[in-house]
A = this chain, B = another copy of it.
Amino acid sequence: MTAKESWIAVDIGASVMRAWQITGDRVPGAVRQVAAPDGYTDETFEGLLLELIGGWFESGPNCVLVSGLSRVQSAAQMVPFAAVPVKPATLKPVLVPVSDPRIRLFAVPGLRQARPVDVTQGDETRVAGFLARNPSWDGVICCVGRATTWAHVSADEVVSFQAFLTGELCEQLCKTEALGPLPSDGWGGDVFIDAMEATLSRPEALASRLHGLRAQKVLGQGEDAALSVKLAGYFLGAELGASRPYWLGQHVAVIGDTPLALGYEAALKRQGAPVEKMSDEEATIAGLRVAYQALMDLD
- Chain A residues with a Cβ under 8 A of chain B: 39, 70, 76, 81, 112-113, 116-119, 121, 147, 162-166, 168-169, 172-173, 176, 178, 202-212, 214-216, 218-221, 235, 238-239, 241-243
Contacts and interface: CB of A to CB of B under 8 A. Distances in A.
Contacts of A147: 211, 214
A245 B191 CA distance: 27
Given A204-B239, A208-B239, 20 more contacts: A112-B215, A116-B208, A116-B209, A117-B215, A117-B216, A119-B218, A121-B218, A162-B211, A165-B173, A169-B169, A169-B207, A169-B210, A172-B172, A172-B173, A203-B203, A203-B206, A203-B238, A204-B238, A206-B238, A207-B235
A243 B208 CA distance: 9
Nearest to A147: B211
Nearest to A238: B204
Each complex incorporates copies of this chain amounting to 2
8 contacts: A117-B212, A117-B221, A119-B215, A164-B210, A166-B207, A203-B203, A203-B238, A207-B242
Contact of A211 (B39, B163, B219, B220): B163
Contacts of A214: 119, 147, 163, 165
Contacts of A178: 39
Most B Cβ at <10 Å: residue of A169, A206, A207: A207
A211 B172 CA distance: 15
A235 B169 CA distance: 12
A151 B235 CA distance: 25
Contacts of A215: 112-113, 117-119, 163
A162 B243 CA distance: 27
Contacts of A117: 212, 215-216, 219, 221
Contacts of A70: 218
Nearest to A115: B212
Contacts of A163: 208, 211, 214-215
A208 B176 CA distance: 22
B173 A205 contact: no
Contacts of A169: 169, 172-173, 207, 210
A84 B113 CA distance: 49
A211 B118 CA distance: 7
A8 to B, nearest CB: 25
Nearest to A216: B117
Nearest to A240: B204
A238 B192 CA distance: 22
Contact of A204 (B112, B121, B209, B242): B242
A242 to B, nearest CB: 4
Contacts of A121: 218
